[in-house]
Structure 1
Amino acid sequence: MKIDDRVEQLVRDTLHWAVKRRPVEFDEALKAFSDESTRQQAMELLVAVSAFVTADICGGRPSSGQLQELASEVAEAEAWSSASSAEVEAFLAAILTGRSLPDVLPAASAVVLAFVVAASLLSMRPKGEGEWWFNYLDKVEAAIEAAG
């Protein structure tokens, strides 16, 4: 997957506010995804990032129990976003099985969940001393691009 530099920066800016759990700034940042092409590219990137990090956290393809536990952790950590455990689990299950998100979630929910889940997963994954979520995101994006 080739990542568009402009879309990547918009995604990173929006993820920043989700990681910081700043709903007003997060909502403002979401407005940058006003056209369909930008929104679609952002969703593709966020889905790839969330799938990669989920597999990394779970040590491979997660079991249904691991998925439920991870969804519960994300929903609890991201209570500011009002994402429920069931929504997070539905989002993760869909992206890991290749199901279309509109078949599982309303479009507006899917966009918010994509950012909230990716931000939460990036920030919860254990990192080395002095490493931040965005350093890990650099590695994830490099792996995604290398995989094609």
Structure 2
Amino acid sequence: MTATAPATAEMRLRRSGLRPTRQRIALADLLFAKGDRHLTVEELHEEAVAAGVPVSLATVYNTLHQFTEAGMIRVLAVESARTYFDTNVSDHHHFFVEGRNEVLDIPVSNITIGNLPDAPEGMEIAHVDVVIRLRPKQA
């Protein structure tokens, strides 16, 4: 980690309205240090443990959900048993590589979505998530 990384994480937390606790700063630093990516709670917990950050799995889970509520990351439900958290909050879609549990970004400009239904009274569409599932070609 560079000397400026914690300050960047701290500023990101403050801009999102979250108090920059030591654990939040450490997790935000790990989460955003490698650019846009998709992680599960378990993957971030493993990174935290490897980096010497004393944090429980429950704390990572709660922190990622706090980051989501603050608009810092997005939840991506690809499988019923696994939730990914996406550090790229811009409009875009995803490929999911089955068997590898890998999520890849698709730029929103590559997909056109039309004929969306009207939202129910008093509601608006926040965003549309498209997940295209991939698998190796069968011989």
More strand by share: 2
- Pair in the same fold by TM > 0.5: no
> Which protein, 1 or 2, shows the higher relative CO under an 8 Å CA cutoff with sep ≥ 6?
1
Structure with max Cα Rg: 2
More helix by share: 1
TM-score when normalising by structure 2: 0.33
